[in-house]
């Protein structure tokens, strides 16, 4: 069956919500950021359409969906190899409503650099049909912390106008839950198994967003889909700045974290409530600023939950709750507290 | 499911030629979300979080598109007024 | 040739003589080819290309976006992104850099993106070596790229411009590499004839043209490009149900390139008065030869001069230079070597545990001939070792003996030229 009608945005009443994003040449309209959800549902379609084969309850498509609600207009999306890419592009089907490219695992940032350069060259020579075309990357933790880090750092250093969104499910999920530089200490993965000698991964999570701050690019932020308004605002800021932007979005994986499907959003809320994953943004002008729930916690420290609240619902940390591993749990709590304290010192909007 | 095509019909560079809306992931579902419209406040939280774009707002109410809903239960868990219940699918 | 004394559209007096080395010639050719994006990383002996191009950008002589990437892997990745976004993209590398690119070379061809890559051939580590051989080129042998080998600086210039036309031909749409021998060509000055900018622009038909594609969800043909007006998905996951079918059009396209390379060679001839054999192979005194030497790259120049000397002494010997290594011109080669008694293949690379790569190609071409010539493989010039006329003479003297003997024993079918015993 051929879809004959070229769909329009905004969505007309009664029209199916699953249609491609079409921007006719010369289209100048910029989408406003909408936080009224009914309005949003009536005016915007997500960049991802259903029929994708991500696990039930996977948070990765929620990250993409919410981020795409904050896109401002014509946008090209680049994906690194990983769960999101594989499950949304099983031939002959695509789940992408926007122009999309997957190149390889470690080169999403380099691919995006090339696209951005092409857009500039086309614009310079009068061949670009739009005022601007935004370039947004979605890559996993493996494709960002580890194998793709060089390309990401290069893209940041060269100053390409690209928004890079890391959906961090804290392991190589697509290949079957192997540890990455983004896997937290003591987490079980298939390459950091819990054995009679070793209690899961031996090393802490790499502070990737701080490393991107050290690049002094125009915008860096952390986010979770559970804090959707915060995430959407950050995505829009990341797109609007001139130059590279990096958003580190925590993304739960029921299969790899071993939790119930229904609590994917709940768990991300707990990640923030326990200060395991604080929400902040950084610009060269403002420095670190706490946002959303993390700012609330900074102002009212009694709201800060113990790390157990984050761990107890996840099978990958089950061993930490055994009495003999009390010391390990404390180690993890101390680490989370230290990182949080450090952030409070740096964040200019944290109460002194 | 579309019939498999010959190489003559593969578009240049192997771009995808169909949309995944052809793939009805609803058959993965073990639990079915059922919305109690009388409790629903139309807050749209379920619509916002559904990973499979399976909650539809038709301008008046929210409903579930069972073609794609995988039954993850996020909508039911997140609904502030507990208007959604997950009920077991009865096998055919 | 049927066409007698064609007057080219740009006879020599309308061309511009320039004193350039191979790298500069390639950079200059790319500059004239209206390239939108160059993403490159330096490596000896390719560096001059990147440096020259950076100068063109710094002086505002081109509209090109130059992306000084942090690795060759990213260079090819950025070219893939740029080409998918509709740009004409170019990069250059050598040796270790090509090795780092390999993963993405396959993706560029699989996605049918007409990127042009200049490979300044250099030996692979270990031991690390900056000089020429062809071992790096064979890394990309099966990557789905069109691979053209130039013999001299003039041909490097000509072939770089031709490469864009071949790659972007509507029925080809495949990435294309232009190979020159490191230092022997990259760093050697030659007086070459270049076209005026507008002639190159016209030859290429202006900026890159985007091919059309048809997918079920649009009722019309749409541009094969990352286009917000008609979104397409590039680089999908295809499993056992589709992967095989998706590879076939790629094979058809590269075979189609056989005709296109020939055609572009003729068009170039009409434009400039220069051509290289039929574009695919460049034979020299092959027709009645008993012995034919098959070679690629700059070594062919040396071999030709020695062959000429032997011809003068009455030996029926010829040279067959392969210009298009991929697609491999089987039928042209078969037709040319059909009546040869002894074919010697000169491989500038080893194939550990096997004969050299070019030898295997030639052997597979000749297998189906009724009277197969004697075939021998000479490996020479590894790591930049010079191929001197004396070495070629020594080889030919041995070949004459082999021909008299009428066969080459199995243990002698792989020989090494110029290695200390
Ligand atoms: C060069 C290379 N090495 C390894 C792989 C195998 N591989 C594919 S996806 C993947 C893990 C992806 O992990 P991540 O980036 O965290 O994404 P996720 O699947 O977890 O969403 C790996 C190791 C590959 N495709 N390419
Ligand atoms: S394995 Fe995890 S990240 Fe991958 S699709 Fe399943 S839930 Fe999502
Ligand atoms: S979350 Fe609950 S109350 Fe809100 S719209 Fe959905 S069903 Fe209705
Ligand atoms: S159960 Fe999951 S997939 Fe189904 S409607 Fe609810 S959130 Fe969407
Ligand atoms: Mg991951």
Residue C289's pLDDT is: 98
B90: contact with C, CB 8 A cutoff: no
Residue C3's pLDDT is: 54
Residue B2's pLDDT is: 57
- CB of B53 within 6 A of ligand 3: the answer is no
Give me the number of domains chain A comprises. Answer: 1
Q: Give the closest of B4, B12, B17 to C173, CB-based.
A: B12
DSSP C300-325: HHHHHHHHHHHHHTT--EEEEEE-EE
Of the candidates C364, C314, C372, C313, the one whose C-alpha atom is nearest the C-alpha of residue C343 is C372
Q: Which ligand is nearest to the CA of B25?
A: 4
* B48 inside domain: yes
Residues 6+ apart with CB under 8 A from A2: C216, C217, C218, C219
Give the pLDDT confidence of C142-188 residue by residue, as tens digits: 999 999 999 999 999 999 999 999 999 999 999 999 999 999 999 99
Provide the token pair at B55. Answer: 């909650």
Residue B90's pLDDT is: 85
- Helix (H/G/I), strand (E/B), else coil: C188: coil
Residue A294's pLDDT is: 98
Residue A8's pLDDT is: 44
* B5 inside domain: no
Of the candidates C336, C322, C307, C289, the one whose C-alpha atom is nearest the C-alpha of residue C396 is C307
CA-nearest residue for atom 3, ligand 4, is B69
* A110 inside domain: yes
Give the pLDDT confidence of A24-46 residue by residue, as tens digits: 999 888 999 999 999 999 889 99
Provide the token pair at A168. Answer: 């961090």
Probe residue for ligand 2, chosen from A53, A54, A84, A250 as the CB with the greatest number of ligand atoms within 8 Å: A54
Indicate the length of chain B as a whole number: 92
Residue A13's pLDDT is: 60
Instruction: State mean pLDDT over C64-69.
Output: 98
Cβ atoms of residues A17 and A11 within 8 Å:
yes
* A149 inside domain: yes
Residue A15's φ and ψ, nearest 5 degrees, are: -85, 150
Give the pLDDT confidence of A52-71 residue by residue, as tens digits: 999 999 999 999 999 999 99
Residues of B with CB under 8 A from a CB of A: 2, 5, 14, 16-25, 28-29, 42-45, 47-49, 51-54, 56-59, 65, 67-68, 70-74, 76-78, 86
* B19 inside domain: no
* A272 inside domain: yes
Residue C275's pLDDT is: 98
Q: How far apart are CA C402 and CA B5, in angstroms?
A: 54
Q: How far apart are CA B53 and CA C183, in angstroms?
A: 59
Handedness of CA C178, C365, C275, C339 (dihedral sign): positive
CA A269 → CA A225, A275, B13, distances in Å? Answer: 9, 10, 42
Confidence label for A7 from pLDDT (cuts 50, 70 and 90):
very low
Residue contact C213–B15, C-beta within 8 A: yes
Residue A274's φ and ψ, nearest 5 degrees, are: -90, 0
CA A216 → CA A164, A168, A250, A282, C398, distances in Å? Answer: 15, 21, 22, 9, 67
Residue A43's pLDDT is: 87
In chain A, what's the furthest Cα-to-Cα distance? Answer: 68
Q: How far apart are CA A88 and CA A99, in angstroms?
A: 13
Residue A4 in this model has a pLDDT that exceeds 60: no
Residue B92's pLDDT is: 55
Residue A296 in this model has a pLDDT that exceeds 80: yes
Residue C5's pLDDT is: 73
Residue C195 in this model has a pLDDT that exceeds 50: yes
Residue C419's φ and ψ, nearest 5 degrees, are: -105, 140
Residue A1 in this model has a pLDDT that exceeds 80: no
Residue A260's φ and ψ, nearest 5 degrees, are: -65, 145
The strand pairing partners of C16, in sequence order, are C194
A66: contact with B, CB 8 A cutoff: yes
Residue C1's pLDDT is: 47
Name which of A114, A128, A151 to mutate to probe chain C: the one with the most chain C Cβ atoms within 10 A of its Cβ: A114
- Helix (H/G/I), strand (E/B), else coil: A332: helix
* B20 inside domain: no
CA-nearest residue for atom 8, ligand 4, is B50
- CB of B35 within 6 A of ligand 3: the answer is yes
Q: How far apart are CA C377 and CA C356, in angstroms?
A: 7
Instruction: State mean pLDDT over C263-280.
Output: 98
Q: For residue A219, how far is its CA from the centre of ligand 3 (angstroms)?
A: 34
* B64 inside domain: yes
* A279 inside domain: yes
Q: Give the closest of A101, A104, A109 to C103, CB-based.
A: A104
With a pLDDT cut of 70, the percent of chain A lying above it is: 95
CA-nearest residue for atom 8, ligand 3, is B40
Hey, what domains does chain C have and what are their CATH numbers?
A: 12-209+255-272 (3.40.50.970), 281-417 (3.40.50.920)
Give the pLDDT confidence of A150-186 residue by residue, as tens digits: 999 999 999 999 999 999 999 999 999 999 999 999 9
Residue A15's pLDDT is: 61
C169: contact with B, CB 8 A cutoff: no
In the structure, ligand 5 is a single-atom ion and the residues with CB under 5 Å from it are: A 140-141, 169, 173
Name which of B18, B42, B51 to mutate to probe chain A: the one with the most chain A Cβ atoms within 10 A of its Cβ: B51
CATH of residue A168's domain is: 3.40.50.970
Give me the number of domains chain B comprises. Answer: 1
Cβ atoms of residues B58 and A12 within 8 Å:
no
- CB of B43 within 6 A of ligand 3: the answer is yes
Residue B14's pLDDT is: 97
CA C9 → CA C94, C159, C273, distances in Å? Answer: 35, 18, 8
The residues lining ligand 2, judged by C-beta closer than 6 Å to any ligand atom, are A 54-55, 58, 60, 83, 87, 169, 173, 253-256
Taking only residues 204 to 243 of chain C, the set having a beta carbon closer than 8 angstroms to any beta carbon of chain A reads 207, 216-219, 226-239, 241-242
Report which secondary-structure segment, H or E, holds C283: strand C281-284
Give the pLDDT confidence of B28-86 residue by residue, as tens digits: 999 999 999 999 999 999 999 999 999 999 889 999 999 999 999 999 999 999 999 99
Residue A11 in this model has a pLDDT that exceeds 70: no
- Residue B67 belongs to what domain range? 32-88
Residue contact B10–C246, C-beta within 8 A: yes
A4: contact with C, CB 8 A cutoff: yes
* B83 inside domain: yes
For residue A94, list chain B residues with Cβ-Cβ distance below 8 A: 16, 18-20
CB atoms within 10 A of CB C71: 18
Cβ atoms of residues C284 and C318 within 8 Å:
yes
Residues 6+ apart with CB under 8 A from C140: C98, C102, C105, C119, C147, C177
CATH of residue B75's domain is: 3.30.70.20
- CB of B52 within 6 A of ligand 4: the answer is yes
Handedness of CA C406, C412, C414, C420 (dihedral sign): negative
Lowest model confidence (mean pLDDT) among A7-21, B72-86, C216-230: A7-21
Does a cis peptide bond (omega within 30 degrees of 0) precede residue C327?
A: yes
Cβ atoms of residues C319 and C346 within 8 Å:
no
With a pLDDT cut of 90, the percent of chain C lying above it is: 97
* B80 inside domain: yes
Confidence label for B3 from pLDDT (cuts 50, 70 and 90):
confident
Average pLDDT along chain C: 97
Q: Quick one: CA torsion of C396, C401, C404, C405, rounded to 10 degrees?
A: -130
* B14 inside domain: no
Residue A293 in this model has a pLDDT that exceeds 70: yes
Q: Which residue has the tokens 């073609």?
A: B67
Instruction: State mean pLDDT over C375-403.
Output: 98
pTM exceeding 0.95: yes
- Residue A155 belongs to what domain range? 43-346
C116-121 and C176-181 beta bridge pairing: parallel
Residue contact B12–C238, C-beta within 8 A: no
Confidence label for C413 from pLDDT (cuts 50, 70 and 90):
very high
Provide the token pair at C142. Answer: 């099966």
Q: How far apart are CA C27 and CA A151, in angstroms?
A: 25
Instruction: State mean pLDDT over C243-248.
Output: 98
* A226 inside domain: yes
């Amino acid at each position: 069956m051929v879809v004959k009608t070229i769909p329009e945005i905004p969505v007309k009443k009664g029209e199916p919500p699953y249609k491609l994003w079409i921007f006719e040449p010369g289209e100048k309209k910029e989408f406003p950021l909408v936080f009224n959800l009914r309005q949003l549902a009536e005016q915007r379609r997500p960049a991802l359409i259903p029929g994708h084969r991500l696990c039930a309850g996977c948070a990765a498509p929620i990250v993409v969906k919410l981020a795409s609600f904050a896109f401002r207009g014509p946008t090209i999306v680049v994906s690194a190899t990983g769960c999101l890419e594989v499950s949304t592009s099983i031939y002959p089907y695509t789940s992408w409503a926007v122009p999309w490219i997957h190149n390889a695992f470690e080169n999403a940032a380099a691919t995006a650099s090339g696209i951005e350069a092409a857009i500039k060259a086309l614009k310079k020579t009068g061949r670009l049909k739009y005022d601007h075309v935004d370039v947004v990357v979605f890559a996993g933790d493996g494709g960002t912390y580890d194998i793709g880090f060089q390309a990401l750092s290069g893209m940041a250093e060269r100053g390409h106008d690209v928004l890079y969104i890391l959906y961090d499910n804290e392991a190589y999920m697509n290949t079957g839950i192997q540890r990455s530089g983004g896997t937290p200490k003591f987490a079980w993965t298939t390459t950091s198994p819990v054995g009679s000698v070793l209690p899961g991964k031996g090393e802490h999570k790499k502070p990737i967003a701080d490393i991107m701050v050290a690049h002094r690019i125009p915008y860096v932020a952390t986010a979770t889909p559970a804090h959707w308004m915060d995430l959407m605002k950050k995505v829009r800021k990341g797109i609007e700045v001139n130059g590279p932007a990096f958003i580190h979005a925590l993304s739960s994986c029921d299969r790899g974290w071993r939790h119930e499907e229904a609590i994917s959003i709940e768990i991300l809320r707990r990640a923030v409530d326990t200060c395991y994953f604080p929400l902040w943004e950084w610009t060269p002008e403002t420095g670190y600023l706490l946002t959303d729930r993390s700012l609330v916690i900074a102002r009212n420290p009694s709201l800060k939950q113990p790390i157990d609240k984050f761990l107890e619902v996840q099978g990958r940390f089950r061993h930490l709750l055994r009495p003999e591993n009390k010391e390990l749990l404390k180690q993890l709590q101390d680490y989370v507290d230290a990182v949080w304290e450090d952030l409070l010192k740096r964040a200019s909007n944290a109460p002194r | 499911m579309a019939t498999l095509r010959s190489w003559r019909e593969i578009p240049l560079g192997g771009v995808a030629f169909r949309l995944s809306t052809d793939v009805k992931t609803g058959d993965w579902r073990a639990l079915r979300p059922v919305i109690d419209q009388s409790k629903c406040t139309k807050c749209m939280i379920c619509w916002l979080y559904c990973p499979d774009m399976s909650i539809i707002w038709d301008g008046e109410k929210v409903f579930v598109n069972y073609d794609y809903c995988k039954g993850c239960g996020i909508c039911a868990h997140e609904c502030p007024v507990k208007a959604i219940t997950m009920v077991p699918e009865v096998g055919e | 040739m049927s066409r007698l004394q064609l007057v080219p559209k740009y006879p020599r007096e309308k061309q511009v003589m320039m004193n350039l080395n191979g790298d500069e010639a390639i950079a200059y050719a790319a500059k004239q080819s209206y390239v939108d994006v160059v993403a490159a990383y330096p490596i000896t002996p390719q560096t001059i290309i990147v440096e020259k191009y950076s100068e063109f950008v710094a002086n505002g002589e081109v509209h090109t976006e130059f992306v000084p990437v942090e690795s060759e892997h990213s260079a090819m990745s950025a070219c893939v992104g740029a080409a998918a976004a509709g740009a004409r993209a170019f990069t250059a590398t050598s040796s270790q850099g090509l090795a780092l690119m390999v993963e993405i070379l396959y993706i560029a061809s699989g996605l049918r993106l007409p990127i042009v890559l200049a490979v300044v051939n250099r030996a692979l580590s270990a031991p690390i070596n900056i000089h020429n051989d062809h071992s790096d080129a064979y890394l990309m042998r099966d990557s789905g790229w069109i691979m053209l080998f130039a013999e001299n600086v003039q041909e490097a210039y000509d072939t770089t411009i031709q490469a864009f036309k071949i790659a972007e031909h509507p029925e080809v749409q495949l990435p294309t590499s232009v190979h020159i021998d490191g230092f022997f060509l990259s760093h050697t000055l030659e007086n070459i004839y270049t076209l005026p900018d507008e002639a190159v622009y016209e030859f290429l038909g202006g900026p890159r043209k985007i091919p059309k594609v048809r997918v079920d969800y649009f009722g019309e043909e749409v541009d094969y490009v990352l286009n917000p007006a008609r979104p397409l998905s590039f680089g999908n996951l295809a499993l056992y149900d589709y992967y095989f079918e998706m590879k076939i059009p790629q094979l058809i396209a590269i075979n189609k390139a056989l005709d296109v390379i020939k055609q572009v060679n003729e068009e170039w001839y009409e434009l400039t008065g220069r051509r290289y054999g039929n574009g695919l192979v460049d034979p020299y005194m092959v027709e009645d030869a008993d012995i034919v030497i098959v070679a690629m790259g700059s070594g062919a120049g040396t071999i030709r001069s020695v062959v000429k000397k032997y011809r003068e002494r009455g030996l029926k010997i010829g040279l067959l230079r392969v210009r298009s290594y991929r697609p491999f011109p089987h039928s042209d080669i078969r037709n040319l070597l059909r009546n040869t008694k002894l074919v010697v293949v000169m491989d500038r690379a080893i194939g550990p545990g096997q004969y050299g790569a070019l030898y295997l190609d030639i052997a597979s071409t000749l297998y189906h001939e009724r009277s197969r010539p004697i075939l021998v493989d000479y490996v020479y010039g590894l790591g930049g070792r010079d191929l001197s006329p004396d070495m070629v003479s020594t080889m030919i003297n041995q070949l004459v003996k082999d021909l008299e003997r009428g066969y080459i024993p199995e243990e002698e079918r792989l020989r090494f030229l110029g290695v200390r015993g």
